[in-house]
């Protein structure tokens, strides 16, 4: 996933609200959001190559999402980053205990956001020690938390406005569908060719081989109940499927 914007304890009805886009090669086998057959209390999309997920939650109020850190030329880690989220969602450790015991060296560069329903944590193996996050609005793309890339700054501004309009969902999906390319003068320099910097500068990435595969909205209430909505996209960028998962309180 290449963009996550979330609100932690900023809305009176929904203490956790997450809007996110997953960008990936269209050829990579993926299961759409739903309950997992091997762990039915967990729901979210699933990477069918390595078995993990980019974003998921469960019936106990746990939430996890991961993005990669863009660092072209670096060797791949021993384990898939999607297992960071999977292992937390199927386990019982608190978020604090989980990030404390992670073997960060086993993975390529990552950003990980975790909530056990009580606390929200951020950690990255390209940053300092894991951080307990205070109530606020946060965003991450393919660098570190709140790195002010243009698409992240714009998305956070629009997310704040969408948050005020809950329970309406349309504004969140509108911001996730923004395919505007950032002017060259404002592009970050991340080590990829300029054509890729341009392509990846959009919130919603469009290309025949690589692009936004899913847009997800998660709204969790104080009691742990809530809703996950996911829109899936094919190479043409048209909506291929929309899935809605309602989850009860714990």
Q: Considering the chain, what percentage of its residues have pLDDT values greater than 70?
A: 99
| Residue 131, pLDDT score | 97
What confidence category does residue 250 fall into, taking pLDDT thresholds of 50, 70 and 90? low
What whole-number distance in Å separates Cα of residue 190 and Cα of residue 69?
10
Per DSSP (E only), the strands in the chain are 3-8, 16-25, 30-36, 39-47, 55-58, 63-68, 110-115, 120-124, 131-132, 136-140, 210-220, 226-233, 239-247
42 pLDDT above the threshold of 90: yes
Interval 33-37 mean pLDDT? 96
CA distances (Å), origin 126, targets 33, 96, 107, 194, 244? 29, 18, 11, 24, 34
What confidence category does residue 89 fall into, taking pLDDT thresholds of 50, 70 and 90? very high
80 pLDDT above the threshold of 90: yes
The pair of structure tokens assigned to 85 is 């989220």
Looking at every residue in the chain, the average pLDDT score rounds to: 96
Kind plus residue range of the DSSP H or E element containing 163: helix 150-164
> How do residues 188-199 score in pLDDT, each as one tens digit?
999 999 999 999
pTM beyond 0.85, yes or no: yes
| Residue 224, pLDDT score | 87
| Residue 238, pLDDT score | 86
What confidence category does residue 248 fall into, taking pLDDT thresholds of 50, 70 and 90? confident
Strand partners, 44: 34, 56
| Residue 54, pLDDT score | 97
Taken in order of first residue, the domains within the chain and their CATH numbers are: 3-247 (3.60.60.10)
Closest CA to 91 of 51, 41, 158, 18: 41
| Residue 1, pLDDT score | 63
């Amino acid at each position: 996933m290449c963009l996550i914007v979330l609100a932690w304890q900023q809305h009176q009805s929904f203490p956790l609200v997450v809007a996110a886009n997953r960008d990936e090669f269209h050829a990579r086998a993926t299961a759409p959001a739903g309950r997992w057959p091997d762990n039915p209390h967990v729901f979210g999309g699933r990477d069918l190559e390595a078995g993990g997920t980019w974003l998921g939650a469960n019936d106990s109020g746990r939430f996890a999402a991961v993005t990669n850190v863009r660092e072209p030329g670096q060797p791949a880690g021993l384990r898939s980053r999607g297992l960071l989220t999977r292992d937390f969602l199927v386990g019982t450790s608190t978020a604090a205990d989980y990030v404390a015991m992670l073997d960060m060296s086993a993975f390529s560069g990552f950003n990980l956001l975790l909530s056990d329903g009580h606390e929200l944590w951020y950690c990255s193996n390209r940053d300092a020690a894991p951080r307990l996050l205070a109530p606020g609005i946060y965003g991450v793309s393919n660098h570190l938390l709140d790195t002010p890339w243009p698409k992240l700054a714009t998305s956070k501004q629009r997310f704040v406005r969408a948050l005020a309009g809950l329970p309406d969902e349309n504004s969140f999906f509108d911001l996730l569908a923004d395919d505007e390319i950032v002017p060259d003068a404002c592009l970050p320099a991340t080590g990829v060719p300029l054509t890729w910097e341009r392509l990846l500068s959009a919130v919603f990435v469009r290309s025949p081989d690589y692009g936004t595969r899913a847009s997800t909205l998660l709204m969790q209430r104080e009691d742990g109940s809530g809703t996950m909505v996911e829109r899936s996209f094919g190479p043409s960028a048209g909506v291929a499927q929309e899935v809605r998962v309602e989850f009860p309180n714990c």
